[in-house]
Structure 1
Amino acid sequence: MEENTNRGLMAGLLAGAAIGISLGLLYAPRSGVETREMLRKRADDMKVRAESLSHSIRDKVAGVAHPIGGDGHGEAQT
């Protein structure tokens, strides 16, 4: 249950960030070149954050699967 809540929270935060960035860009007093450069930088930042989140989730899942007695893909190893 908690995992679904965390997943929903992250999805809501990412959606809110995307909407906020989009609205900010629509009303920003920058040239097209400056705006595109800013978008590239923010997209790169979001990619790094997403990769970091992915690694964090993977580590947490591995930490839970290991004490249970298996690799999380079948029967426990003895």
Structure 2
Amino acid sequence: MGKNNSKDFIVGSLVGGLIGAATALFLAPKSGKEIRDDLGQQASIVKGRTEKFTSQTLEKSAGLANVAKEKTVSLSQVVSEQSSQIMNKVRDLTNTTNEQRDVIEAEVADALEQISGETPVTPKEAQAELPTAIVEAAHAVESDVNNEQPQTNDQVSSEDRVKTNS
């Protein structure tokens, strides 16, 4: 807001000065030739100041444009470098994860082969067979529990009683 006020003040001062100078020239007791000469001089002075102001403005704007270009180039280089670093890190993590998964799968397959003495089963195959293996194990446990229930006193034979009494 401060820049607009000062700019407006400067423009207003210039316009007011020009109007005042023109008024003074017209009201001064000079001949027409003298007034025309004075107006020509004042016009050339105003023209020179305007050209100077225009050239300064163009120089400043060109300087600002160059600074903006430099900042844009450096910023784009930084962004490019950082994005390539991030992409390399992601690739490294992906490769490391794949390598670790392969090593773990190989170790699990070797362990399964050593335990079972059979051809190794991949982890995916083991996952697929896991539910059926759990169901089979549960049935086996139930059948063992049903087959080995302790006998009640009524079921104990007389021979067993004799053996325990003697």
Provide the TM-score with structure 2 as the length reference.
0.39
Give 4+ residue runs of structure 1 displaced > 6 Å after superposition: none
Higher relative contact order (CA 8 A, sep 6+): 1
4 and 12 in structure 1: CA distance in 2 versus 1, 3 angstrom threshold: same
Looking at secondary structure, tell me which structure has more helix per residue.
2
5+ residue gaps, structure 2, are: 77-166
Q: Percent identity?
A: 32
Q: Which has the larger radius of gyration?
A: 2
The residue aligned with 1:61 is 61
52 and 7 in structure 1: CA distance in 2 versus 1, 3 angstrom threshold: same
Provide the TM-score with structure 1 as the length reference.
0.75
For each residue in 1:2-33, what CA deviation from the matched residue of structure 2 results, as whole angstroms up to 9, or x when unmatched? 55345423321221111111221122111111
Instruction: Give RMSD over aligned pairs.
Output: 2.1
6 and 56 in structure 1: CA distance in 2 versus 1, 3 angstrom threshold: farther
5+ residue gaps, structure 1, are: 71-75
The alignment covers a number of residue pairs equal to 73
